[in-house]
Amino acid sequence: MPPASAGPREVVGGYIEAVLGKDERTVRAVLVPETDFDNEFTNSIYPFQGWISASGLSIGEPRTSTIDCPDGVRCQRMTVVMDLCAVDNGSYPDGAFAQSFGVRYVKDRWLVSGFGSG
């Protein structure tokens, strides 16, 4: 689990590692509090159920973002590229994956707020 002092890239990397390792505790710890955790862990098209393994993870430099960012809150986005080596009924097929991940500064730490357009 990334420490509370972890930067945006480390938090996103920790989230991806936790999803692939099916580590529900860490996923809960690094997602924003308003996450629908029941859906996050049980919906077959979400990463926790669908992503089995990945390789070649690359996390780009964070940049300031206003996408899904509440007023007065610090938010950043970064591009994540990896090869999804195994996917089980997910919304993403095996192979190249490239999406923008968002993080939000909540109570003195960065937390993942979503990826793609959300």
C-beta of residue 47 within 8 angstroms of C-beta of residue 86: no
- The answer on pLDDT for 95 being more than 80 is no
What pLDDT, on the 0 to 100 scale, is given for residue 44? Answer: 81
What pLDDT, on the 0 to 100 scale, is given for residue 27? Answer: 96
Q: Match 């924003």 to its residue by tokens.
A: 32
What count of other Cβ atoms lies within 10 Å of the Cβ of residue 115?
19
Dig out the tokens for 108 from the structure: 């003195």
Sign of the dihedral defined by the CA atoms of residues 10, 15, 19, 25, in that order: positive
CATH topology of domain 8-115: Nuclear Transport Factor 2; Chain: A, (3.10.450)
What pTM does this model have? 0.91
